[in-house]
Chains A and B, each alone.
Chain A
Amino acid sequence: MAFISSGYNPEKPMENRITDIGPRHFEEFLPPVIKKNKGTWAYHEILEPGVLLHVADSGDKVYTVRCGAARLMTITHIREICDIADKFCGGHLRFTTRNNIEFMVTTEDEAKALKKELNGRKFSGGSYKFPVGGTGAGVTNIVHTQGWVHCHTPATDASGTVKATMDAVFEEFTSMRLPAPVRIAMACCLNMCGAVHCSDIAILGIHRKPPMIDHEHLDNMCEVPLAVAACPTGAIRPTKTEWQGKQVNTVAVKEERCMFCGNCYTMCPSMPLSDKEGDGIAIMVGGKISNRITRPAFSKVVVPFIPNEPPRWPTMTKVITQILDAYSKGARKYERLGDWANRIGWERFFEVCGLEFSHHLIDDFRDPAYYTWRQTTQFKF
């Protein structure tokens, strides 16, 4: 398409430049019933999966219908969301912290009609456009990252693995029959953008091979001391090497010290490490961020490696449903996945989930690793 100016003048880039205005104030977009009753809510209840009711001191009611979203979406899709909001909600809507969409109405009949409308809309491939659910003790949306869509350090894909997982656990999105909410999160490398380190079940992209080193370009592309300092295990050192008859500054990687985190590639483009067969997924479980009953907890690695199997990742989804089934059978009401595993003991967790325990799962990172070993005689055979 031919160039169409927005009015910006590249000859005078600083002229008429507006900066530091921040985001719009949220009050501009509040539905009238929310604005009126802000700060005076009395109680709430979940009427059915995906439908919430909040009642204010004034007696005003607001019904919220929550529906799933793929997070990565087109403007066409956003416009369809706006059309629905125009038709049912006076043009108002909101997105949740897990990237679900919430539509708010003021009567139960409207909420019912809205739920029916949302569940009726499908893509041409057959997927629900706006499946209603994500409330209470179920599985809600998966917090995830960029993957092969946009990032340069991923070890797996985000949108693909998430779609495969949500398809496998879709029943749990539209129902509330688990002991407690199960948060699933996904990150495509161990930068862990998002919530994998604190989720009930976490999908994490990992590498299994050390970086390749582009000696020819490294000194020009990279600030060598930064690459050295990026390594958590001190596996990288600066060195000189011969390249096509010339002495060049570069780095050397002690491969037996490298655990394939990829931090050096983040700092230095000449140290790529992604690998089709080497890369895959680790599964972590048992994290949470709420303070309810027990403290917040990190998730722990329970499956060290599952190969990448695009486009559906069948082994990964099988492991996740295995864990979810064992948890839903074994846990008590209100018990989060980590609380359950801690109560029954991790040796029992591996047994009931049918997972293999390997030496990869034993912490060996610096002094704190010691505290993760068992310094007691209390265990189950």
Chain B
Amino acid sequence: MAVVEFKGKKFEVDEDGFLQRFDDWNPEWVEYVKESEGIKELTDNHQKVIEFLQDYYKKNGIAPMVRILSKVTGFKLKEIYELFPSGPGKGACKMAGLPKPTGCV
């Protein structure tokens, strides 16, 4: 597995650029990923989505369904795509350090 270095921090990632370990997440990771996910400037709204994903993952062991993400954060799916152009899975979950989505995706 590849290891990337950013601002003195090391991250172990897979071929799709997802973190190998949720525990390795830190704020630098978001800084590092945002460019490849088409995000110029991180806003409070980005932060709100990332924080909710992390809380939900810690509490439940899974990523929330899209409808739960929308309902709790108050962002419609369209707004989530405006924040994260790659979408809630490939964009937001990757930045939040959650495991890569699985199934027939």
- Show the binding face of A for B, using Cβ within 8 Å: 13-14, 191, 217, 220-226, 266-269
Q: Mark B84-105, 1 if CB is under 8 A from A, else 0.
A: 0100000000000001101110
Complex Cα gap A217–B21 (Å): 9
Residue pair A220, B21 in contact (C-beta under 8 Å): yes
Number of residue pairs A-B, CB distance < 8 angstroms: 35
Q: Mark B62-87, 1 if CB is under 8 A from A, else 0.
A: 11000000000000000000000100
A sample of 12 inter-chain contacts (CB < 8 A) reads A191-B104, A221-B20, A221-B100, A222-B102, A223-B57, A223-B102, A224-B61, A224-B62, A225-B60, A226-B62, A266-B102, A266-B104
- B64 smallest CB distance to A (angstroms): 11
- Show the binding face of B for A, using Cβ within 8 Å: 20-22, 38, 57, 60-63, 85, 99-100, 102-104
Complex Cα gap A167–B99 (Å): 44
Residues of B near A266 (CB, < 8 A) are 102-104
Residues of B near A268 (CB, < 8 A) are 102
Closest chain B residue, CB of each to CB of A229: B62
Complex Cα gap A14–B40 (Å): 11
Indicate which residue in B63, B85, B99, B104 contacts A221 across the interface (CB closer than 8 Å).
B99
- B3 smallest CB distance to A (angstroms): 15
Residues of A near B103 (CB, < 8 A) are 266-267
Residues of B near A224 (CB, < 8 A) are 61-62
> With A13-B85, A14-B38 in contact, is A225–B62 under 8 Å at CB?
yes
Residue pair A220, B22 in contact (C-beta under 8 Å): yes
- A289 smallest CB distance to B (angstroms): 22
- B17 smallest CB distance to A (angstroms): 14
Residues of B near A217 (CB, < 8 A) are 20
Residues of B near A221 (CB, < 8 A) are 20, 99-100
Indicate which residue in A13, A14, A223 contacts B61 across the interface (CB closer than 8 Å).
A223
Complex Cα gap A326–B22 (Å): 58
Complex Cα gap A14–B85 (Å): 8
Q: 13 other contacts beyond A223-B57, A266-B104, with CB at 8 A cut-off?
A: A13-B38, A14-B38, A14-B85, A220-B22, A221-B20, A221-B100, A222-B102, A223-B62, A223-B63, A223-B99, A225-B62, A266-B102, A269-B102
Indicate which residue in A14, A191, A220, A225 contacts B99 across the interface (CB closer than 8 Å).
A220
> With A13-B85, A266-B104 in contact, is A222–B99 under 8 Å at CB?
yes
Indicate which residue in B20, B60, B62 contacts A220 across the interface (CB closer than 8 Å).
B20
Residue pair A225, B61 in contact (C-beta under 8 Å): yes
Closest chain B residue, CB of each to CB of A228: B61
Closest chain B residue, CB of each to CB of A221: B99
Closest chain A residue, CB of each to CB of B57: A223
- A10 smallest CB distance to B (angstroms): 9
Complex Cα gap A277–B102 (Å): 27
- A335 smallest CB distance to B (angstroms): 36
Complex Cα gap A222–B20 (Å): 10
Residues of A near B63 (CB, < 8 A) are 223
Complex Cα gap A24–B64 (Å): 35
Complex Cα gap A222–B22 (Å): 11
Complex Cα gap A222–B85 (Å): 24
Complex Cα gap A92–B55 (Å): 56
Closest chain B residue, CB of each to CB of A17: B85
Indicate which residue in B22, B38, B57, B102 contacts A267 across the interface (CB closer than 8 Å).
B102
